[in-house]
Amino acid sequence: MEAAERTISQILTEQICYEIPAYQRPYSWEKGNVEQLLDDVWEAYEAKDEEYFIGSLITIERVKGQLYDVVDGQQRLTTLNLIFSRLRDAVDEPAKSELGRRVLPRNALTGEEETPRLTLRQRDQSFFRKYVLAGQPVPDAVRKEIVKEQDAPKQRITENLESIDAFIARHDQKTLKLFANFLLSRVYVVFVTTASWQSAYRLFNVLNARGMALSNADLIKNMLFARLGGDAARSSELDEAWLELEEQIGIERLDQFLAHHRSSIVAIKARKALHEEFEPLIETAATPFSFLEQLNTSASNYLRILRNDFETTAARRAVRSLRRAAFEEWIPPLLAFLNAPVEGMKESEFVDLLERITYQNWIRRLAFTARLTAYFQLITAVRAGKGADDIRAIFRAKANDEEFKVLLNGEVYGKPFAHAVLLRLEEADQDESVTKDFSGQITIEHVLPQALKDAYWRERFSDDEHRLWLHRLGNLALLAGIKNYKAQYFPFDRKKKVYAERNNRVSFDTTKPILDAEHWTKDILSSRQNELLERAQRIWSLAAWEGS
């Protein structure tokens, strides 16, 4: 391994080309990163600093002095190409040609484009060459397609070009030429070269250990490529399989998916970093290709969960309800079931039971480890190929209908599950043709107010009765919009007018009976409490499921 300080002019020369290898992540610098780099270098330029250091560039030397794979530093190197391409387009000759040969040289005799100084990953290179190196404007149709496909690397490139254009627009040609000269001659990197794939692999791990910005997905991908042993003939095939995964899931949520996938396989609490947890899974896989094939299948099912792509209305309601939970530990058992369906058990039944046990354990305030125990038992049974009766038995064993009922019959307002429970109760008695999905600001209102300030309420409720009913289900109403503090102590008829106006924006079926009541009394409150509690038991008790 060799390391030396080099100016940008020395690394971006006509003699050297760089390629981003398949195991690298795509371009991910955001607008803020680019603006920060430009601001920092501009500050050094204005201060007339003799040198300004922007980090390291770690490479594998494939052809001595000519061709290098970029192991670390591709974000800076790609951004420098963006900057020099835009500076080239903003100045006249001979500066234009001088800057052009730093990114995309042209034959002086024929005018034809030659090999670019930097080649990105295969999926991004055509876009990069056309709209960055060749300087063509990005058409609106292409921009819309990028947004539609959620193509993060191309979106980052497009947004960062706009940031660079904004910087260039603030300066005249003379200043831009002087700034470009400063970039080339006074800005330095530490240029590190290694000779082999094995050295690069070690460097990845060293960089990660030192806190460099390598994601778990980067390191997991690197492990898969390392299993090829540098087999270049198959690396592009593996890269395509990984790209399929990235395209399905999206780079931003890849680590999150990988964590859920790992739990859906091993069913034990993670004790190490995610990439370390994956190491034995990759080592024991038949091939990196078979591992990725399973990963892509799991990714498809993960997307089904995120998109709520289930056949029956009941299943979709249950998944929508599960996604309101304050935790995601329910995802790995559902992922395990979708990846390896249980004979004799429909998806709708498993999802129904999963919602029941999840809400029971949430309302029962089970700690993280206790919740995991139930989910891990389900995963283990599914992975072991157990039958439907064995799976049902686990759900039964982990439920506690009585404790769940007692707690839900008590104070609900202010509990973490309050919104989720009330929203789910909205759907309980809906026909299967009706789908409800709520967004925007939704508040929980007390019908019987939190303080007995008005004579209307003092005539109907004692202090003890007020304390008994205040925060229970029967006294809570869902309304659209922010909380109406002005109305909270009004007598019932005035509160109903406020509720009616707010309920016209978003109609809540559980709120309508309140509007139909002439007065708010203990009897009506008790009746509504029992009705909502019975509805909750139909949704979440195991006894109700057994009887259905």
Asked whether residue 209 carries a pLDDT value surpassing 80, the answer given is no
What does the pLDDT read at residue 501?
Answer: 81
User: What is the pLDDT of the chain when averaged over all its residues?
Assistant: 89
CA distance 149 to 155: 10
pLDDT in tens, 33-49: 999 999 999 999 999 99
pLDDT given for residue 250 in this prediction: 85
Average pLDDT of the segment spanning 300-322: 95
User: Which pLDDT does position 206 carry in this prediction?
Assistant: 61
Q: What is the mean pLDDT of residues 474-484?
A: 81
Q: pLDDT at position 77, please? A: 95
* In the chain, domain spans: 2-209, 216-305, 308-399, 418-543
| Helix residue ranges per DSSP H, 47-115 | 74-90, 95-103
For the chain, give the number of residues: 548
Q: Which of 214, 196, 186, 235 is nearest to 44 (CA)?
A: 186
- What is the bridge-based pairing of β-strands 52-63 and 67-72? antiparallel
Q: For residues 126 and 241, what is the distance between their CA atoms, to the nearest angstrom?
A: 19
Nearest Cα to Cα of residue 396 among 415, 377, 414: 377
Per residue in 171-200, pLDDT (tens digit) is: 999 999 999 999 999 999 989 888 776 666
